[in-house]
Amino acid sequence: MELVARQIVERVGAAQREVENSGMNTDRHASSLRLVHLTQRMVLFGIRLASTLPEETARAILAPGLVRFPQLWGLEVGGQRVKHATQAYRQAFPASSEKRFAEEWMRARGEAMAAVLPFLARWARGRPSSRITPAADLQLPEKGPVLIAALHYSIDPAVQLSCMAAATRDDFIWPVYPFHAGVEDDRELWLGGTTAPHSVTHMLRSITSPDWILDAAGHLRCGGAVFLAMDAPFDRNRRARHSIQIGEANMPLAPSIELLAALGGVRLFFASPRRQGPHSWTVDLQPADDVEELAQAAAAWISDHSLEWAGWPHILWREQAVSMRRARRA
């Protein structure tokens, strides 16, 4: 196992040096994408092992390369996500070390990615995870409109999939924003590393026009269930009445949460992961009486899990919401 892990790291390093020495007239993001393409075979080899090996073994094989080379899964020191996450952290905690935060945040996210990929490999083959599991008391109403609010987590999409696994209903939809040219995206790796089953792909809705909110509202009115990110830059053209307090920063809640929660009879829940050990999580589902309670639950979670929150850049990206929502992947 250690030999395989070392080989992955060594080959990734060789590929990185090839990119750095190539002399190509490309920007940093293009070089990062080239690195991903050059090394993804080695990483996908580890992912395939994840479906047959114990999860901890697969995680240990993947972690060295994913931690040492975050470019593989969509983060780099000079990239948009890290830069904006660091600026957002400085805005929230001006007295703390932003450099130390950035280093610890990237490492924590690499470790989480090494746990998520085995989870996804097993999910795609109908095998339950022993490292990321729904809480024993996690329950959703069997019928009726349900809005499950969440943040962007380091172990996404395991939180949403764990909620689905624990539910006795299959009428979920999940609006997500598209890829954006020039912005690194960790979905590049895990979407390429596993074939999502139909139970997942059929519920995804891309946020490419304001009409997406009508789809979600109609689904709730028909008694369906909707996953929605509270910290996503979906809809700046609507003013939010609620916000999430993060240190000294105040991030407006996605206004779509307020709009959908106001529909008659919608039950609200906050979904979040809770660490059970160095490399394991339990997914909790907390009922909420109103949107204010959702915002408070989100703020409390971020306060306790700052390194596990993948949404730090969204504090700044809320100002670019309209253009990001309409973006198409090149």
Higher pLDDT, 317 or 243: 243
Q: Which two tokens stand for residue 252?
A: 């407006």
Residue 2 pLDDT greater than 70, yes or no: no
Assess whether the previous peptide bond of 157 is cis (omega < 30° from 0). Answer: yes
Determine the pLDDT at residue 322: 47
Same domain assignment for residues 145 and 244: yes
Determine the pLDDT at residue 105: 96
Among 71, 97, 124, identify where a domain stops: 124
Among 124, 140, 168, identify where a domain stops: 124
Same domain assignment for residues 100 and 176: no
Q: What is the count of structural domains for the chain?
A: 2
Full-model pTM: 0.81
Burial 144-183 (b: 16+ CB within 10 A, else e): ebbbbbbbbbbbbbbbbbbbbbbbeeeebbbbbbebbeeb
Same domain assignment for residues 136 and 110: no
Residue 151 pLDDT greater than 60, yes or no: yes
Determine the pLDDT at residue 3: 44
Same domain assignment for residues 59 and 83: yes
Euclidean distance between CA atoms 216 and 229, whole angstroms = 13
For residue 88, what are the domain limits?
A: 2-124
pLDDT tens string 321-330: 545 444 433 3
Q: Which residues contact 99 (CB under 8 A, 6 or more apart)?
A: 86
Determine the pLDDT at residue 234: 62
Among 96, 124, 152, identify where a domain stops: 124
Same domain assignment for residues 82 and 153: no
Whether residue 324 contacts residue 233, with contact meaning beta carbons closer than 8 Å, is answered with yes
Same domain assignment for residues 174 and 43: no
Q: Do strands 280-288 and 267-277 pair parallel, antiparallel, or not at all (unpaired)?
A: antiparallel
Residue 308 pLDDT greater than 70, yes or no: yes
Same domain assignment for residues 152 and 226: yes
Euclidean distance between CA atoms 169 and 157, whole angstroms = 18
Residue 46 pLDDT greater than 80, yes or no: no
Same domain assignment for residues 119 and 142: no
Same domain assignment for residues 73 and 199: no
Same domain assignment for residues 83 and 214: no
